[in-house]
Chain A
């Protein structure tokens, strides 16, 4: 299964963005909830306000009804007609009330006036021309019944009620007539709709008054009452109930909440913008911190590893970067420690691979690599090098007479002397042994047995080469004591010059060997290669 991989940076950004989106969603949901709560609170307070106003207006309607009754009570002709139970006169007087100021000025909408006897029997009645009450005599029978059950002082109390007659609401006020010992009662029946209209002016909002179960034919609605059902304004209502508890009338109010909606929207948008900006700032800050503490050190570690892959010489370099994260610092320290250990290990391995265990001189391996690298470097450049092949003439004799241990000592001594005479690199173990460490230095190696080779880089003249050969001969010619016998060692050196005597390592070695053979054969200390030497060697 393929594993899904992302960088630390991406992971952090994704995490922060996801958290930010979560925050934004929460802000959005919260703002919507807040909006709903605000709207519900506003709706509730509007309903309460409509309720208070409606009750005020009904109280006012009651006052107007009482004032109408008062007009009759202070009328002598009415009192006389009432005392005489003159129904014709009473009927006339009641009819006159429909032309009173409150009625004609539309302060109240008077529907019917009734006069009851003290036993609550209808004596006379008068209705408005436009009244929809019809033939039905009794309006609000519950109110009359309630009054009939009262005794003593309670019979004098004015009472009022909201009633329902054939699906329409009516407001009735019952007041006693005939002084403190009532002889009759007057019922003033009005349509409350007209009296409730001032609610729109009091609240400064359009209203609609309708029957609770009739949505489509309101009894009244303001001119600016919204007609579209999709209007987003706030609607609140207050229900008026009859004395018996049945719903009688619904007063609805419409509040244009466009401004509030805009404010809520603006608040929500501001919240969202602030949240988004905060997310961006937090992301940037987190990335900045992450870069400083984690990504930068990891990048440096990665680069260093790449450099190590390219060149192991870089193993010795320690990374200096520090972070504020303990674990990262520990990682850098461990990396440095591991790199240092590897550096040492590689050094020791190279040393072992390139060193002759007996003389501690470099071996054939390093000779081959060094010669090849120089030849590659010098190719076509005009630079030159000299290659010596050296043979110790007396080695076999020492070995035979004094044993292998003496032979070994001889080799070591000669190696040390020749090394001292040359401009070779320090190849001690601590200094490491590699092409890099010996670059541009003379190289002395033991090829095997009593055979040595020397590489002289960047030679300028044959005289210079000759001087080096003489130096080697001189330093090895110093007598050596073996069991109190002085032995003088003689070298046979064959010299080949690049590019004069060959372009490759093999040809150079072969020609140096030819020259060395020639020198040994002719008892010469050293000899520069000449073409005839190859021919004579082959003839041999």
Chain B
């Protein structure tokens, strides 16, 4: 009798753990639409931002192979996997310097990750180009290919 109840308890625990893990995984895969602490912009707002603040640093968070398809002129490549406080500090001279992150588009997720890292590292003027390269290309804004 005691043996059976032990099995029951362990089964319930197993099920609960599967359910909890599953829900956590689902939350991770969901598209992030807003990141508190950053400013979300579109292509036109990006261009306006450049005109207003030529010191803006545009960071391409995509992997190098994606960048071969073209990139926003003047952007610096820093894939999300290489993004940390140290690499960011090398590109962005000051914590207050405006920095903008983009990747392939809303489903990409890399720029969102980089934005979070930048915020965590203490950068205060962080912009997030949510539509990314997809929006840029669709709106026929100039791009560059290496």
Contacts and interface: CB of A to CB of B under 8 A. Distances in A.
Interface string A158-181: 110000000000000001100111
B93 interface: no
B145 A70 contact: yes
Contact of A67 (B50, B73, B145): B145
- Which residue among B43, B48, B139 has the maximum number of chain A CB atoms within 10 Å of its CB? B139
Contacts of B50: 180-181
Interface string A430-441: 000000000000
A175 B144 CA distance: 11
A157 B74 CA distance: 16
A223 interface: no
Contacts of A179: 73-74
Contacts of B43: 153
Contacts of B142: 73, 156, 158, 175-176
A74 interface: yes
Contacts of A176: 142
Interface in B25-62: 43-44, 46-48, 50-51, 54
B86 interface: no
Q: How large is the interface on B (under 10, 10 to 19, 20 to 34, 35 or more residues)?
A: 10 to 19
A152 interface: yes
B139 A157 contact: yes
Contacts of A157: 139-141
A282 B51 CA distance: 89
Nearest to A156: B141
Contact of B47 (A73, A156, A175): A156
Given A153-B43, A153-B47, A180 B74 contact: yes
B144 A73 contact: yes
Contacts of B141: 153, 156-158
Interface in A56-87: 67, 70, 73-74
Nearest to A159: B140
17 contacts: A70-B143, A70-B144, A70-B145, A73-B142, A153-B43, A153-B141, A156-B47, A156-B141, A156-B142, A157-B139, A157-B141, A158-B140, A158-B141, A158-B142, A180-B46, A180-B50, A180-B51
